[in-house]
Amino acid sequence: MLNFDRALNDDRLLKAMTGLSASEFNKLTGSFGQELQNEAWIRYETGVKLGGRERKPGGGRIGNLESDAEKLFFTLFYFKCYPTFDILGFVFDLNRSNANRNTHKLTLALEKALGRETTLPKRKIRTVEELFAIFPDVRDLFIDGTERPIQRPKDNEKQKENYSGKKKMHTRKNIIISDKKRRIGYLSPTMEGKKHDYRMFKDEFPPPYGIFTRSVVSWMDLGFLGVEKDYTDAVVMMSKKKPKGKELTDDAKAWNRIVSGFRILVEHAIGGVKRFRIVSDKFRNKKEEFDDKVMLISCGLWNYHLKHC
C-alpha cells in the first residue's frame, strides 16, 4: 500500500492525489467518519431485525483500509486520479473486486458527508424563492452547459442518443448555475450528449417564466440563443452572433469581449470541478446513474474547497 502518512504531510502531494489540501482533508474526515458510523449502525440494526446478525459494528476482521482518513483518501484518490480498479486495488493492496465494492460503498458516505457540509448543489429549483434561497443576495448568475466523454455504448439507440455533434464523440451533459464566487448552486440531471444545451434548460425550467426575475442578470453563451424570446422576465447578457455571410461590427466585438470577461467565471467553476478526472476523462463505469452521482459529488467537492480554502 502507498505511504499514506507521507501524502498527508505533503500538501502539494495530497492536492495532486485527492484534490484537497491537508486542512480541507482533515475537516472532511470528521463528517465522513460520522457517516460511516451511521451506516454501520443502520446495517447492524437491520441485521438484528432480520435475525441474521449478532456482532456489533467494529467487530470482525480489520480490512486494509483501517481508519476513516484512509477510507476517505481511497475515495478521493479514485475521484481525482480515476485509475482502473486493477490499478486502484494494486495501490491499496486490494483485489479488483474489493476495490470496486469499496469505491461504491464509500462514495455513498462521501456524498452524505458533503451533504452534511452543505456543499452539494441543488438538483431542482421550482420557484424564484427557491432560487434566492440557494443564491441569497445574488445579482448575477452564470448559466452554462458542460459535457463529459463516455465510452461508446454497445446499444445502437444509446449510441445515437449520446452522440454529441459538437464534440464528435459520445458524451453526457449537465447544466450548471454558478455565482460570481464560482460556487455551483445548481446541477441539472445528467442527460444525453445529443441534447442541445437550451433544450435541456427548457426541460428543467419550462417557459415562459422559469426561474428568471428582473432583479437578476443571467450570463449565458450562444448555446442558449432564444432565451429572451421564450422567457418574459429574463434579463440576459449574451454575446452577439456573427451574421451569416457577414462580419461582426467593432462594437459587437467589443461587447463580446465584455461578456466573455464576465462569463469566464462559470468556465473557471467548471474547470474546478473537472480537476477530478472522473468527470474529465472518458467515463468507464457501467453502474446505472453512477455518472450522475460522480458529477454531483465532484461539484460538492469543488464547493467544499471554495468554502474552506
| Per-residue model confidence as pLDDT tens for the chain (309 residues) | 678 889 999 999 999 999 999 999 999 999 999 999 988 767 766 776 777 766 666 666 677 898 999 999 999 999 999 999 999 999 999 999 999 999 999 999 999 999 999 999 999 999 999 999 999 989 999 999 999 999 999 999 999 999 999 899 999 999 999 999 999 999 999 999 999 999 999 999 999 878 888 999 999 999 999 999 999 888 999 999 999 989 999 999 999 999 999 999 999 999 999 999 999 999 999 999 999 999 999 999 999 999 998
Q: Where are the beta strands (DSSP E) in 14-111?
A: none
Alpha helix (H) residue ranges in 127-249: 128-134, 156-162, 197-204, 227-230
> 3-state DSSP call for residue 204?
helix
Measure the CA–CA gap between 66 and 102, rounded to whole angstroms. Answer: 12
Question: Is the distance from CB of 82 to CB of 267 less than 8 angstroms?
Answer: no
Cα 120 from chain centroid?
Answer: 8
Would you list the domain boundaries of the chain?
4-116, 128-286
Contacts of 274 (CB under 8 A, 6+ apart): 146, 280, 298
How many Cβ atoms are within 10 Å of 199's Cβ, its own excluded? 12
Measure the CA–CA gap between 111 and 42, rounded to whole angstroms. Answer: 17
Q: Where are the beta strands (DSSP E) in the chain?
A: 140-149, 163-164, 169-178, 184-187, 191-192, 217-220, 236-238
Q: How many residues comprise the chain? A: 309
The position carrying cell 467553476 is 269
> 3-state DSSP call for residue 192?
strand
Q: What is the pTM of this model?
A: 0.93
Measure the CA–CA gap between 178 and 141, rounded to whole angstroms. Answer: 6
